[in-house]
Structure formats: structure tokens, C-alpha cells
Structure 1
Amino acid sequence: MPIATIRTLVLDCPDPHALAGFYAELLGGEVVGAADAHWVDLRVDHVKRLSFQRVPGYVPPEWPSTSRSQQLHLDLDVDDMRVREKEVLALGATPLDLEDDGGKRDFRVYADPVGHPFCLIRPE
């Protein structure tokens, strides 16, 4: 039996409602919390919860970097890399590493609007 279970994964950010909206468009789900709240939750069917907290003076991670490491990232399965890449870029994601090694590599790396890295991955 595990010692604990995950309640939520929390992402620091300058605007919790805006970042929760980005992830709601990306993953689906419902944003719970006021637009000016310091803490906002995203309720997604297949995940317990993602939460977003306002941090004054937020400094985004750098990828790749040893001085301001990413600290965590999300790996997200997608059905069609080309289509989904266009969609995440339209949502405001920033490409960090799009190299696919001639079609051999099954993932690409992006940053959300406040700099948290995430990967789109073709399922096996």
C-alpha cells in the first residue's frame, strides 16, 4: 500500500486563471476559480487535478539549463503530431525542441505560455 496519493500537481505562474485556461484548451476539463484568484484548479476527467498558483516575481524555467532547470514537465500523448503541434502553437505554446531525427524520435518539446516545458509524444 502506498504511503500517499497525489492530490494535485501545482504549477507556479504569474496568472493562474490564464494558465489554467491554456491547459483546459490543451487537455479539456473545467477551470475552477475566479479570474483574479491566487489559486485555480483544472478538473480533468483522466487526472485528479492540476492546480495553478500565483507567484509574485515568477521566473520561468529555462530548457535546457542547469542554472534555471525545468524542475518538472508534462508528457502528453497525441494522436497526430503535425495537427496537434499546430493546435498547441495556436494556443500560445512556444517550441523548444522540434527535432524529430528524421522521424525516429517520438516527441517534441514546447513551453506553455509562462515557460513550463511539456512534451507532445506519439504513443507507442
Structure 2
Amino acid sequence: MPTVLAGVVVLDCAEPEKLAAFYKDLLGAEETDATANRVEIRSADGFRMAFRRDVNATPPSWPRPENSLQVHLDFLAQDLDEAERRVVSLGGRPLEAREAPGPFEERGYADPAGHSFTVRRTRATAPKQG
């Protein structure tokens, strides 16, 4: 058994309830724990995130250099246009568009608190040949 087990990704933000609602809706997750200063969610595939209150939290300014990236999340989707509509409808915003060709096409976004994340196209799986 490993000494350290994977835990939960925690994002600091001014309003954890609102940010948890954004990711809960985006990922089809459920709330698993909530206190006055922290909300935790878990998606159907077991991915866990928590949102911790920090009244002095400032959003990262990526891709501008004034502030560090702080954290970056990658999510997967089969249809990037559909994923973008969902992100925007929940209050996220597109960052600079980067349409890389091929199986790693991705798009960058900021959540309502300003944390950046990427939605990548899932790689098509073909049956093994030979």
C-alpha cells in the first residue's frame, strides 16, 4: 500500500459555494461535504475537488505574466463546441483560443473565479489491428 494516496484538488476562492456549483454542474458531480469555509464535490468517475474560502483570493491572470498560473485543470470532452456552450452557460469564459489539430485539440477557459482550465478533445479509440 502506498504511503500517500491521491486526495482532492483544492481551489482557493472568495465564494466557495458559487465555484462549487459551477464545477458541480459542469462535471455532473455531487456535493459530498460542506462547511462554512469549504465545499467538496465528487464526479461520477470519482474525481474530487474542493473549494476553500480565502477572502483575499485574487484570480490568476494567465496568460498574462502579472500573476502566476497557480493551478491548471484539464478536462476531457468528445464535442468541444458542446463543452464550450456548457462552460459559458454556467458562467465560465473562454481564454485565448488555441485550435491545435489532431487528437489533442484543446480550448482554454476561466471559471467564474478566474482559475484557468482546459477542455481537450478525447482521443478516438480505434480497435487494435494486427
What does the per-residue CA deviation read over 1:27-73, in whole Å, with 9 as the maximum and x for residues that have no partner? 11112326xx2111112232352110000121011111333111211
Larger-gyration structure (1/2): 2
Q: Counterpart in 2 of 1:15?
A: 15
Q: Is the aligned partner of 1:98 residue 2:85?
A: no
Percent identity over the alignment is 38
Gaps of 5+ in 1: none
User: Aligned to 2:66, what secondary structure does the other structure show?
Assistant: coil
Which structure shows the higher helix fraction?
A: 1
Q: Counterpart in 2 of 1:118?
A: 117
Q: What CA distance in whole angstroms lies between the structure 2 residues aligned with 1:70 and 1:47?
A: 25
Structure 1 residues 11-50: aligned runs within 5 Å = 11-31=11-31, 32-33=33-34, 37-50=36-49
User: Aligned to 2:95, what secondary structure does the other structure show?
Assistant: strand
Q: What CA distance in whole angstroms lies between the structure 2 residues aligned with 1:24 and 1:48?
A: 11
Q: What CA distance in whole angstroms lies between the structure 1 residues aligned with 2:86 and 2:38?
A: 26
Q: Which runs of 4+ in 1 moved over 6 A?
A: none
Q: Counterpart in 1 of 2:74?
A: 75
What does the per-residue CA deviation read over 1:63-116, in whole Å, with 9 as the maximum and x for residues that have no partner? 113331112111111010111111111111111122315x45600100000010
The TM-score, its normalising length taken from structure 2, stands at: 0.84
Give the Å deviation of 1:14: 0.7
User: Aligned to 1:97, what secondary structure does the other structure show?
Assistant: coil
Give the Å deviation of 1:123: 1.2
Contact 1:11–1:53 (CA under 8 A) maintained in structure 2: yes
Contact 1:7–1:48 (CA under 8 A) maintained in structure 2: no
Q: What CA distance in whole angstroms lies between the structure 2 residues aligned with 1:72 and 1:2?
A: 25
Q: Counterpart in 2 of 1:6?
A: 6
Aligned residue pair count: 121
The TM-score, its normalising length taken from structure 1, stands at: 0.87
Gaps of 5+ in 2: 124-130
